[in-house]
A and B are shown apart, each in its own frame.
Chain A
């Protein structure tokens, strides 16, 4: 299995809702990532987990809360989002957190905040 699976593919939520994005990989990768991507822009790193511990938080607002329940799963909990948070949220994984490792991306979850 060489894929990163993300659910849901599309999500529409109001500013008072609580929802979660989910990501799963079975490649034995020990680093997992959340990226945010706006139209016509490159992916922006949000969080990195290495061996199930949060290693990097790119000063992301607390309305985004990541969770890594085990080495195969990564969640992003969403609460009280703003319309400007509407974007494509990409999950990725790599063998380890170091520069030479190739990132494998999921297809993304397209989020719309009303």
Chain B
């Protein structure tokens, strides 16, 4: 089976850096996704990691360690519009995407 853990809520200050962690257990690894979802809107794709290491994409970076079953999403130079839910997701071998519970990030002025 699969299990994904991420913190329920985080708060950070505008302009700061925040790291959202995700740990997972899966039988057969097929990569890890991060999605962003603003309240009342659709989830949007942020990143996909299948190899170990850090992938940087502008203000957002995602890290993966397959041996530790661990990923994090790093958000730099936080803006108010970054307040959203961040979903860690891992596909199972049948192609079904399993989502974590999501981390609700609040960015304060």
Could you list which residues of chain A lie within 8 angstroms of chain B, going by C-beta atoms? 4, 31, 40-43, 45, 48, 55-56, 88, 90, 97-108, 110
**Shortest Cβ distance from A34 into chain B, in angstroms?**
13
Q: What are some 29 contacts across the A-B interface (CB < 8 A)? A: A31-B95, A40-B102, A42-B87, A42-B100, A43-B87, A43-B99, A45-B96, A45-B97, A48-B95, A48-B96, A56-B94, A56-B95, A98-B91, A98-B95, A99-B92, A99-B97, A100-B48, A100-B50, A101-B95, A102-B33, A102-B45, A103-B45, A103-B97, A104-B45, A105-B42, A105-B43, A106-B42, A107-B42, A110-B40
Which of the listed residues A41, A45, A100, A107 has the most CB atoms from chain B within 10 Å of its own CB? A100
A103-B45, A104-B45, A105-B44 known; A42-B93 Cβ under 8 A: no
CA distance A73 to B92 in the complex (A): 25
Instruction: Please count the residue pairs between chain A and chain B whose beta carbons lie under 8 angstroms apart in the complex.
Output: 58
Q: Which listed residue (A31, A42, A102, A110) contacts B48, Cβ 8 A?
A: A102
Q: How many residues of B contact A (CB 8 A)?
A: 24
> A103–B43 Cα gap in the complex (Å)?
9
